[in-house]
Structures are given as C-alpha cells and as structure tokens.
Amino acid sequence: MTEHTYTASNWDIERLLSLGFTEAEVGRLVYMRNHVSEQTEYREIMEEKHRMNFVRWLIEHNRLSK
C-alpha cells in the first residue's frame, strides 16, 4: 500500500480496504467525509442568498413593504 496522507485513523482505512474498497475509493471517501461540513456551509450560504434575492424581488415589485 502506498503512503497517503488521509485524515482518518488507520483502522478506518484498513476496514474500508478489507470491505473491498480500492485505495482510490478510500481516498475519495475520506476526502468527502472531511469536506462535507464545507459543502453544508456552502449550501446554507446559497440558500440564504436565494432567500434574500426573493425578498429583494418582493420589495421591488411592491409585494412586500420595507
């Protein structure tokens, strides 16, 4: 097994490998696990942006007063 810098315990990596995942798949799974919070934050930011754009549209079209 080649040396990789994963942010997971060796036990987690060995377990995934023993379940039949390839090293590349293990790397992607660990990467996804480590970055899921960033994706959640991005999604929340985008949702807030869409809400604000909608409120702006409501105000601009006199559907909602300031």
Range of the domain at 17: 10-60
- The answer as to whether 44 is a domain residue is yes
| φ/ψ of residue 25, rounded to 5 | -65, -40
Residue 5, pLDDT > 70, answer: no
Average pLDDT over residues 30-57: 89
- The answer as to whether 37 is a domain residue is yes
- The answer as to whether 51 is a domain residue is yes
What does the pLDDT read at residue 1? Answer: 44
- The answer as to whether 20 is a domain residue is yes
What does the pLDDT read at residue 7? Answer: 58
What does the pLDDT read at residue 66? Answer: 63
- The answer as to whether 66 is a domain residue is no
Question: Which pair of structure tokens corresponds to residue 36?
Answer: 């899921």
Of residues 20, 28, 19, the one with CA closest to residue 8: 28
Count of domains forming the chain: 1
Whole-number average pLDDT of the chain: 85
pLDDT tens readout for residues 49-58: 999 999 999 9
